[in-house]
Amino acid sequence: KLIIGNKSLKIDGVCFPLAMIYNKENEPVGYVMKRASQNREVYDLQRSLMIRPELEKLFYGWKRHNLVAVCLNIVNTINAIHKYNILLGDINEQNILVDSNSQVYFIDTDSYQIENYPCPVGSATFTHPDILSKNYKTFLRKVEHERFAVATLIFKILLPGFSPYSYQGGSNPASNVKDRNFVFPFYNPSKKISHESSQLSDGIWKLIWDNLPNNIREAFYSTFALGEIREINDPLVDEEIDKVSNNKWDVKRGWINILSKYISELERGYHKNDLFPTSRKCKKKDRKSTRLN
């Protein structure tokens, strides 16, 4: 009723409740919501992007920039929802739909956390380690908990179907999240970071990881290895950028800016655009023309 009563709550692609449905005893039994897409076939992320054969069949011809566009559309939509002081709570691959144009649609919005009403459900893979053992019905999530789930979803889209805490010899999702064992390597000599593990086997996941931009890898490393939760932010406007830095990408390092930079660099050929690359990233000697074929 709080959502329905807020007439200003209109966000493209978010299927909010529009009206309650009651039975003849005047008991609430459901709600009316807008159809996700009128013109295109839509699929939940789990059954489309997270399974390689389905991804390649349903979205034939897609490149990596399409996956990044999906991520960017998701974080922009979540950022818009947060402006209304609403948290999704139960972020997972089945509550977001996608079409062949990389547009996204949010469903199951009746469980969103609003005011003092907690989201009563959740998935272990997307649950922040600090609240993993709690009953979802008994507390209000914080925005940091939401940001952890967002980072997890981005990871699972860019490495289609692979969870950040999955690894060779790992246990169930809840145990893996609780252990916080992030096995993907990250190196930054200037910051004296040398993070590596023998629990990540060579193969497609390591190849995808190796081909991600360094700032994407650092954002994942910070989130899943160090517990430093990355923000979801609005891109800064030009006037704000000029006051802080000449390089707009180095100003505010939330997911919107990070993903915007990635898609821009893909369009300019700075990274491999394959969904599933078959070789490691290689750089040309001339930095001014560092393009990958």
Task: Say if residues 98 and 49 touch (Cβ distance below 8 Å).
Answer: yes
CA dist 162 and 29 (Å) reads 36
pLDDT given at position 63: 97
Pairing of strands 28-33, 17-22: antiparallel
pLDDT given at position 262: 95
Residue owning tokens 């969904």: 275
Query: In which order are the strands placed within the sheet that holds 96-98?
Result: 43-44, 96-98, 104-106
**Residue 96, strand partner residues:** 106
pLDDT given at position 251: 47
Give per-10-residue mean pLDDT for the chain (293 aa).
91 94 95 88 95 96 97 96 95 96 95 96 93 94 95 97 81 79 89 83 90 94 91 62 48 82 94 92 49 48
pTM value is: 0.89
Task: Say if residues 178 and 132 touch (Cβ distance below 8 Å).
Answer: yes
pLDDT given at position 166: 83
Residue owning tokens 């990355």: 230
pLDDT given at position 199: 77
Beta-carbon contacts of 237 under 8 Å, excluding residues fewer than 6 positions away, are: none
CA dist 184 and 196 (Å) reads 7
CA dist 263 and 123 (Å) reads 29
pLDDT given at position 253: 77
Q: Considering only CA atoms, which of 211, 230, 210 is closest in space to residue 220?
A: 230
pLDDT given at position 169: 66
